[in-house]
Amino acid sequence: MSKFRKDGKKGIPAISTASLPDIVFMLLFFFMVTTVMRETTLFVSVKTPKATEIKKLKKKSLVSYIYIGSPVKRLQASYGSAARIQLNDAFASVDEIQEFIATEREARDEKEIPYMTTSIKADETAKMGIITDVKQELRKANALKINYSTRKGTY
Amino acid sequence: MASSRRGLPEINAGSMADIAFLLLIFFLVTTTMDQDTGIARKLPPMPEEEMQEDDSQIHAKNIYIVLINTHNQLLVEGELMDVSQLKDGAKRFINNNGIDPNLSENPEKAIISLQNDRGTEYKTYIRVQNELAAAYTELRNDASLNKFGEKYAALDKSQQKEIKKIYPQKISEAEPKDIGGNE
């Protein structure tokens, strides 16, 4: 019994925090590797529609995004509220899409071109007119793999 | 000289954790974990100029015509329909196998033709696409459960191919036209 009493007198030894940095670093590296920095600032507000039959978009490096929606609040004074197309960091017209696809292709390896996907991130209130125009341009540019960006959810 | 004998004093690593935490919090905040999801589709290539699409070979009963107007209403095979009924309607059409003379001969020949107005809302369009995709998914699931005892997604590539042969997903989109419904 005396053995235990001796322990009690000493009190609980402090837990060594020497390995704390290691643990934190481990977490840090995990987040550093998984982080995808937002490359573009959105000028259009996009709330994608809901759908159930969705597929995950793999290989993000091979995806080019086309945003369609009405300009964000602070830009509505100068650009109005009609739906617009955004490519990279600027508003664009429909004719610029072919050029955009061409530059996207140049940035990729030749072997990867057939696997390139164009993700259409359009607002659910957007009209099909503008989306049809975009689709026609994509057909002309021969970028046939597309993905309608949607959220998971039921009606 | 005394210092060289003692060697370099050790650097205090006590604040290392704080620095690491700082970085960690930064990455935690900037990380967007959301995976992009969506409905994958393949656009048809641009038709060659001299080549005119020959629709006459396709029997009218093998085409399931879905029209969406400016007011987001559906006209399916000439009748007004609610979106919620579209999936069952499409399934009935695809899986008809020649029973009803007005519907498809067999799933392989069945084509769904989708046409929308320029004024149609994107949301409705996606919903219709989704319902049609859901119809095919359910049919494929049924077929693969019957044949292999597993759901379509759980099958391997060659088995999926077999099922795909039974139920090829043929959704054709017509060139956009203005079909009725004034603003």
Q: Which of B13, B46, B134 sits opposite A53 (nearest CB)?
A: B134
The pLDDT of residue B181 is 46
User: How many residue pairs bridge chain A and chain B with CB atoms within 8 Å of each other?
Assistant: 145
Q: What is the pLDDT of residue B77?
A: 84
d(CA B44, nearest CA chain A) in Å:
7
Q: B141 to each of A24, A52, B42, B166, how far by Cα in Å?
A: 45, 15, 22, 12
What local confidence, expressed as pLDDT, does residue B1 receive? 46
A3-25: pLDDT as tens digits: 555 555 567 888 887 788 888 88
Residue B2: per-residue pLDDT: 47
pLDDT (tens digit per residue) in B78-88: 888 888 888 88
* Short-list B169, B159, B114, CA closest to B137: B169
- What's the total number of domains in chain B? 1
Question: Are A129 and B119 inside 8 Å of each other by CB?
Answer: yes
Residue range B132-137: average pLDDT? 89
Interval B155-172 mean pLDDT:
86
Residue B174 main-chain phi, psi, to 5 deg:
-75, 160
pLDDT band at A39 (very low <50, low <70, confident <90, very high): low
pTM here is 0.76
Q: What pLDDT is attached to residue B62?
A: 83
Specify the pLDDT at position B33.
Answer: 67
Task: Please say if the pLDDT value at position B51 is more than 70.
Answer: no
Q: Is residue B122 part of a domain?
A: yes
Query: What domain range is B134 assigned to?
Result: 60-173
In a 3-state reduction of DSSP, which class is residue B28?
helix
Q: Would an 8 Å CB–CB cutoff place B168 in contact with chain A?
A: no
Cβ-Cβ contacts under 8 Å, A53 against chain B: 39, 130, 133-134, 137
Q: Give CA–CA dist A128/A123, Å, rounded.
A: 11
Of the CA atoms within 13 Å of residue B14, those in its CB half-sphere come to 2
Domains annotated for chain A, with CATH where assigned, are: 2-34 (no CATH), 50-152 (3.30.420.270)
Identify each DSSP E strand in chain B by its residue range: 37-42, 63-68, 74-76, 79-81, 111-116, 171-173
ipTM: 0.75
Residue of B nearest to A119 (CA): B38
Q: Does B50 touch chain A (CB under 8 A)?
A: no
B 83-142: CB under 8 A from A:
116-123, 125-127, 129-130, 133-134, 137
Q: Does B11 touch chain A (CB under 8 A)?
A: no
User: Mean pLDDT for chain A?
Assistant: 83
A128, B120 contact by CB (below 8 A): yes
Token pair recorded at residue A69: 């929606």
Contact B121 A34 (CB under 8 A): no
pLDDT number for residue B54: 57
pLDDT at A144 over 70: yes
Measured distance CA(A149)–CA(A110) in Å, rounded: 25
Is residue B102 situated within a structural domain?
yes
Nearest C-alpha neighbor of B94 from the set B171, B173, B147: B171
Q: Which of B13, B37, B68 sits opposite A56 (nearest CB)?
A: B37
Place of tokens 């039921």: A154
- DSSP bridge partners of B42: A145
B3 pLDDT band (50/70/90 cuts)? very low
Establish if B51 belongs to a structural domain: no
